[in-house]
Amino acid sequence: MRATKAVIHLENLRLNIGLIRSHIGSKPKICMAVKADAYGHGVHKVVQTALSEGVEYFAIATVQEGIDIRLEGVTAPVLCLSLPLPSEIPDLIRHDLTPLVADVGMAALLDAEADHQGRSIGVHIKVDTGMGRIGCRPDETVDIARWIARSKRLHVAGVCTHFPAADMASNLHREFTLRQIEFFSETVEDIRRAGIDPGIVHAANSGAVISYPDSYFDMVRPGILVYGYYSSSEQRREIPVRPVMALESNIVFLKSVPAGTPISYGMTYFTRESTKIATIPIGYGDGYSRLLSGKASVLIGERQYPLVGRVCMDQCMVDLGPDSDARLYDPVTLFGPDPKGPDAEQLASLIGTIPYEITCSINKRVPRTFTDLR
């Protein structure tokens, strides 16, 4: 195995799931987001671990992601959060994935294909209460529910919405989210008054799990929180989750250089004194962002050292200073749960992004290894 690897701490995943369950109570189900290869963590091991911790549902973004889970023998419900193309509908139904419906047109396509396959399927109606992405308007929802209830092969298995600002702290964002919860609750009641069972009602993402218990309904959908991070720096740190991924490598080359030595492409960094430069075999070709050039630090031993010069496709350099006792092949942590080093949230803040992007960007070239220290 190459030096650079992503170590997935399944014991932290178990911890985080347990903390979320304790926070929300025993009633709501947990639908864990495992799209984008479980946010870069390796979907198959993550799903098996989550199942062993009592997670009831999983959420993915693409039909192929759902198929990959099914091919591993997972029979738990899998909710597809994005809308499929018509050409994907046969596989979606064949592999028992649960689709969202936001209009009658999609419902009709699903009904026709389900009839062709001789199957009945449950669908979840997606209501747009303010996200502005996919979803029907609240005032359209009952008509769509009625159409589904009259269809040959479909039934309403759930109703859901999504919050764009549940992790933000301002009064504007809080009032907006509270209005969303109110609109959504009224819409669900309208479905019930029409004599239709809404099925599983769900809305709460990671931000709402923390801040809006009134949004739990029948099921919550945590994403980044399960993997050890908060979705916004504005949120209260009420649940002591731990990062699940550690990005690790080793020093593969060491050299002493005089003051004034340029490091890496573009000569953007010159050493300020005689120093030692360590080369680490990871770069933007692995998903370690070039934007981190000259901004990030890494953990070697008990100390953090600055990343210097531009991050290359396959390598990056670290200035150890003149007196470091770091040695060739010493372990290097680029981010992870160790409090002595940086984590993905800290790296994200350096380049104006979110921890989701940091973990999701670590690509397939980087092998995943798994620990489970129970």
Active site members: 35, 265
Q: How far apart are CA 269 and CA 216, in angstroms?
A: 50
Candidates 245, 276, 253; CA nearest to 330 is 253
Partnered with residue 137 across adjacent β-strands are: none
Cβ atoms of 96 and 116 within 8 Å: the answer is no
> How many CA atoms within 13 Å lie on the side-chain side of 15?
17
**CA–CA dist 28, 26 (Å, integer):** 6
Q: Which of 43, 42, 5 is nearest to 334 (CA)?
A: 5
Q: Minimal CA–CA distance to 335: which of 285, 268, 289, 276?
A: 289
DSSP sequence for 50-112: HHHTT--EEEESSHHHHHHHHHTT--S-EEE-SPPPGGGHHHHHHTT-EEEE-SHHHHHHHHH
d(CA 116, CA 264): 60
Whose tokens are 């304790």? That residue is: 22
Q: Quote the CA–CA distance of 309 and 277 in Å, as a whole number.
A: 11
Q: In whole angstroms, give the CA distance from residue 361 to residue 36.
A: 10
Q: How far apart are the first and last CA of the chain?
A: 25
d(CA 65, CA 81): 11
